[in-house]
Amino acid sequence: MSETADLVITNGTVVTETATFEASLAARDGVITAIGAASEMPPAAETIDASGLHILPGIIDVHVHFREPGMTHKEDWATGSRAAAMGGVTTVFEMPNTNPPVSNVEGYTLKRGLADEKSIVDFGIYGVILDDNLADLAPLAEAGVIGYKLFLGNTTGNLPCPSDGAILEAFEILSRLGKRCSIHAENSPILFWREDRLKRAGRYDPVDHVLSRTDVVAVEALSKSCVFAEWTGARIHIVHESCASSLPYIRFFKDKGVDVTVETLPQYLLLALEDMDRPGGHVMRMNPPIRERAQQGPLRQAFAEGLIDMIATDHAPHLPEEKDGATIWDMACGFPGVETQVPLMLSLAAEGAFSLQRYVQASSAAPARAFGLYGTKGLIAPRADADLTLVDLGRKEVLSAERLSSRGKVSPFEGMSVTGWPVGTIVRGKAVMRDGEITAEAGWGQEVRQAMPEPAPRNAEKHLATLCGASPAPGQ
């Protein structure tokens, strides 16, 4: 082979969603140029010896909150993307509940500039759906959002849940744009009603947060989302599925042909409401809540089978003091996750909860497919981006908040032993993390290039745009 490479990785075990094999890899100009025996690799500017390590397609986390602009005391694109790199994550999709939120092209452009300047991993940026920004949805697609976020359930940022009328019209618009809408599937009127009743009854314990958002809150919102998606042909993604009761509904709507994908989070597979009353258990407060231990089994099984398509993190950093409060109702919701997903999930794989190949599918291939990146990302193959996560499956570590790169030094996984650790993060042929050290300059990260399949609207003749023309800007 005559060409030189920028990077060669030798003697690793490559894991794809369908195969596991010994190989070396070469990368040049950001893409994989060779896969084969070490002796077949070209000379390279940099070589990594991956003996004893596994090489996975770069982990894609479709659900992180990096908080910038507006809440940089919790996180920013520099700290958040370093946390991702430390965790073995090569691409993140960032949520729009920042200040300002990404509700129009101006908000998108502001955030895009910050990410371009600071991120060391690749990224996509979500736009938000609100009652009054339907006229902004197509311009946001044109500008380059990876997809949209719909907050049915109230959470950090207090973005109001749009009316059902606005949601249905938004889905009509999205069905023609073809981009996917990620949905926080909780019913806000019910959760607000229950929270108020519980407070008035003097209920202020950690478990009361979970009871305010009891299972039906999630099941109803999931079902409505799928019904609207079926009617309009919009593509949807259910974020942070927490609830075993949702699983038959997911199966039903997938079987009906709704283009719905689903993610769960490590905390729903590993933590339980029963742990919330122990000292420090209040850290687990998040939306949707972490439920009874009995729900872990069905969720793990659904993940192993692929009914739940993918794993994400809902990386939701807050300062430790924001996670504290007089009662559970005063404590910020969410906690960091982008750094701990890989070790937690590798540990579950080591216990036999699912295979390593299934993990690769759920953490890289499935997210890439759902959001139109597959081919460039989500796989290890010639011409694909050289995005790779190097892991040491035998390495034992103990998780702790103190070790996090995130500004939110809080973790419900404090003291947990894990088996399996990310030791290298390669983004487009460049190591951004090696052996726990960040090795890239701010700004190495790029916005991902997306190619969604052709839009597939349904009932288009009844869409409001067909009946009345494009959705006007508010006040028009």
Q: Taking CB positions, which residue lies at the least distance from ligand DOR? A: 334
- Smallest distance from Zn ion to CB 123, Å: 15
Which residues, at least 6 apart from 288, have a Cβ–Cβ distance to it below 8 Å?
153, 185, 186, 213, 217, 218, 240, 242, 243
Beta strand spans in 16-169 (E): 20-28, 31-36, 44-49, 54-57, 59-64, 89-94, 122-128, 147-151
Q: How many CB atoms lie within 10 A of CB 157?
A: 17
Nearer residue to ligand DOR within complex by CB, 58 or 124? 124
Please enumerate, as own/partner, the contacts of 362-365 that have beta carbons within 8 Å and a separation of 24 or more: 362/303, 362/306, 362/308, 362/309, 362/310, 362/311, 363/56, 363/59, 363/60, 363/310, 363/311, 364/17, 364/56, 364/57, 364/58, 364/59, 364/60, 364/389, 365/16, 365/17, 365/57
| Cα angle, residue 245 at apex, residues 240 and 249 outer, rounded to 5° | 85
Does position 61 interact with Zn ion (CB under 5 A)? The reply is no
Nearer residue to ligand DOR within complex by CB, 33 or 287? 287
What sign results for the dihedral spanned by CA atoms 346, 348, 350, 354? negative
Nearer residue to ligand DOR within complex by CB, 287 or 341? 287
Nearer residue to Zn ion within complex by CB, 126 or 249? 126
Residue 76 contact among Zn ion, ligand DOR, none, beta carbon within 5 to 8 Å by kind: none
Kindly state the DSSP code that residue 19 receives in the 8-state scheme.
-
Does position 97 interact with ligand DOR (CB under 6 A)? The reply is yes
Tell how far CA 256 is from the center of its chain.
Answer: 25
Residue 423 contact among Zn ion, ligand DOR, none, beta carbon within 5 to 8 Å by kind: none
Does position 122 interact with Zn ion (CB under 5 A)? The reply is no
Nearer residue to ligand DOR within complex by CB, 12 or 96? 96
Q: How many CB atoms lie within 10 A of CB 230?
A: 19
Q: How many CB atoms lie within 10 A of CB 396?
A: 12
The residue within the footprint of ligand DOR, chosen from 41, 137, 269, 286 (CB under 6 A), is 286
Q: Give first-to-last CA distance, the chain, whole Å.
A: 64
List the interface residues with ligand DOR, window 313-332 (CB under 6 A).
314, 316
- Smallest distance from Zn ion to CB 96, Å: 10
Residue 155 contact among ligand DOR, Zn ion, none, beta carbon within 5 to 8 Å by kind: ligand DOR
Residue 387 contact among Zn ion, ligand DOR, none, beta carbon within 5 to 8 Å by kind: none
Which residues pair with residue 21 across a beta bridge?
Answer: 14
Nearer residue to ligand DOR within complex by CB, 181 or 384? 181
The residue within the footprint of ligand DOR, chosen from 79, 81, 119, 155 (CB under 6 A), is 155
Does position 65 interact with ligand DOR (CB under 6 A)? The reply is yes
301 to 340: interface string for Zn ion, x by CB under 5 A: -------------x--------------------------
Residue 287 contact among Zn ion, ligand DOR, none, beta carbon within 5 to 8 Å by kind: ligand DOR
Does position 184 interact with ligand DOR (CB under 6 A)? The reply is yes
DSSP string covering 34-45: EEE-GGGPPPEE
Residue 409 contact among Zn ion, ligand DOR, none, beta carbon within 5 to 8 Å by kind: none
Which tokens go with 270?
A: 């590993």
Does position 334 interact with ligand DOR (CB under 6 A)? The reply is yes
Nearer residue to Zn ion within complex by CB, 338 or 366? 338
Does position 156 interact with ligand DOR (CB under 6 A)? The reply is yes
- Smallest distance from ligand DOR to CB 1, Å: 48
- Smallest distance from Zn ion to CB 246, Å: 17
Size of residue set near ligand DOR by CB under 6 A: 11
- CB contact at 8 A, 323 and 209: no
Identify which of 333, 362, 367 has the alpha carbon closest to the alpha carbon of residue 345.
362
Identify which of 286, 301, 182, 186 has the alpha carbon closest to the alpha carbon of residue 238.
182
Which residues, at least 6 apart from 252, have a Cβ–Cβ distance to it below 8 Å?
none
Residue 176 contact among Zn ion, ligand DOR, none, beta carbon within 5 to 8 Å by kind: none
Write out the residues near Zn ion by the rule CB under 5 A.
314
Write out the residues near ligand DOR by the rule CB under 6 A.
65, 97, 155-156, 184, 286-287, 314, 316, 333-334
